[in-house]
Amino acid sequence: MKDCTKEMGGYLKRLFPINRSITGDGNRKTLKILQEIIPLKVVEYPSGQQVYDWTIPKEWNIKDAWIKNSKGEKVIDFQVSNLHVVSYSTPIHKKISFEELKGNLHYLENIPEAIPYRTSYYNESWGFCVSYKQYQELFQEGEEYEIRIDSKLSNGGLSIGEILIKGKSKKEYLISCYICHPSMANDSLSGVITTAFIAKELLKIQDTLEHSYRVVFVPETIGAIAYSSKNEKEMKSIDNGLVVTTCGGLGDFGYKQSWEEGNFINRMIEDVFNENNVMFLTYPFDIHGSDERQYSSQGFRINCTTISKDRYYEYDYYHTSLDNLDFVKEESLNKALNLYLQLINKMDKNIVYKNLYPNCEVMLSKHDLYPKTGGAILPNSDISALDIILWVLYYCDGRIDLYEISKKLNVNMCLIYKETKRLENKKILERV
Ligand code: ZN
């Protein structure tokens, strides 16, 4: 088990207060802090650019916002919580009656302490979010308020971060998270920090990696669409990926299946949970969700899964100010990190080989593969290395992967991987 608890906790506290959205300086600041963990390349896509059916929006930045009552007291203050302003609110400064203001105030009656999170990216408007308690205590009929949102919508850019970790094969796996949420810890900061630490660990073992890893930090939806559009060729050759989000809550672990239910990645996650004695929920693939919506679309069809701990939509504090640092603990992030690393370890070793000697059996002794003394059983299994070699040569026809073979033989994939490496070195097996 890797123990990155303390470090992850440090970043959780530093990144939490930053005001992020789908564009803006908060995202740049976030990516800059992540560059302390991994050498991220930051790319800007200019406002107005067409990406498939979408257009990169104007950049949104906000300095301050508040509501003052008729006595001039600030009753709502953006500096206290950045959730108080609807993301992408247009600038406004005026005196307004409660009746007029009411339509632009958002609150949740069912969780009176929570400030809801609201956005208005593609419809120019403004709004404030307040807790139901604040709504009841600080506002009254007939009163006049002064409101100010000191924001700016301008031609700028949409910032993304990416890093390509090259392994022995050019075949890539995608690891994606989204950086567009303001101060909420599970959605999506848990995913951002976990992704950064996954990349950090992969960089440490880069020379042993069988696959390459495309790790991206994008604003949700528009960022994933823009990135896919700008990297279409590379993205279209990816078959599997991870969308890392909501993995740090207090509730149960679970995973969302990729679009093909029988895909190896779904079964692998279940193996990882079982090997760790972790109870888990299974969420079948659904067209709702996060950026797997884009990556699973017809043009890409990437089998993406998500390990969650209190998945988006499911927990009470979802998209509220109570999704905070009391709800997400660094210990949970470290646990999610370790589950992901174990999953990636399996994904990495899942190779498709072709036997270069398909006609009858290979003369193993000639290649120094036949044991001098027979019958030795491998530790923690009831199969010998010789039997693994024989089965692998029998199965590897350029179509079946090592995970599938491990399931057929009921043998840990790492043991099979070890023997296939010997066969690859002796040029009996070739990677497809
Ligand atoms: Zn969200």
Q: What is the pLDDT of residue 375?
A: 64
Distance 278 CA to ligand 1 centre (A): 25
Distance 421 CA to ligand 1 centre (A): 42
Quickly count: other Cβ atoms within 10 Å of residue 184's Cβ: 25
Average pLDDT of the residues in 121-143 = 97
Distance 312 CA to ligand 1 centre (A): 7
Question: What is the residue whose two structure tokens read 């299946």?
Answer: 257
Q: 0.85 cut: is pTM over it?
A: yes
Average pLDDT of the residues in 312-336 = 97
Q: What is the pLDDT of residue 318?
A: 97
Q: Is the pLDDT reported for residue 382 higher than 90?
A: no
Q: What is the pLDDT of residue 373?
A: 72
| Structure tokens given for 98 | 């409660």
Q: Is the peptide bond before 308 cis (omega within 30 degrees of 0)?
A: no
User: C-alpha distances in angstroms, 315 versus 20, 238, 364, 393, 405?
Assistant: 22, 32, 57, 48, 38
pLDDT category of residue 265 using cuts at 50, 70 and 90: very high
Distance 360 CA to ligand 1 centre (A): 56
Q: Is the pLDDT reported for residue 381 higher than 80?
A: no
pLDDT category of residue 112 using cuts at 50, 70 and 90: very high
Distance 325 CA to ligand 1 centre (A): 16
CB 56 within 8 A of CB 222: yes
Distance 193 CA to ligand 1 centre (A): 15
CB 269 within 8 A of CB 305: yes
User: C-alpha distances in angstroms, 86 versus 105, 134, 291, 312?
Assistant: 9, 16, 22, 19
Distance 419 CA to ligand 1 centre (A): 44
Distance 288 CA to ligand 1 centre (A): 12
Q: If DSSP states are collapsed to H, E and C, what string results for 27-91?
A: HHHHHHHHCCCCCCEEEEEECCCEECCEECCCEEEEEEEEEECCCCCEEEECCCCHHHECECCCC
Mean pLDDT of the chain: 96
CB 116 within 8 A of CB 129: yes
Quickly count: other Cβ atoms within 10 Å of residue 51's Cβ: 18
Average pLDDT of the residues in 55-73 = 98
Q: What is the pLDDT of residue 327?
A: 97
Q: If DSSP states are collapsed to H, E and C, what string results for 156-182?
A: CEEEEEEEEECCCCCCEEEEEEECCCC
Distance 203 CA to ligand 1 centre (A): 29
Q: What is the pLDDT of residue 370?
A: 87
Q: What is the pLDDT of residue 374?
A: 67
Average pLDDT of the residues in 81-89 = 98
Task: Return the higher-pLDDT residue of 218 and 372.
Answer: 218
Average pLDDT of the residues in 56-65 = 98
Q: What are phi and psi of 171, to 5 degrees?
A: -65, 125
Cα(64)–Cα(79) distance, integer angstroms: 7
Q: What is the pLDDT of residue 372?
A: 76
Q: Is the pLDDT reported for residue 379 higher than 80?
A: no
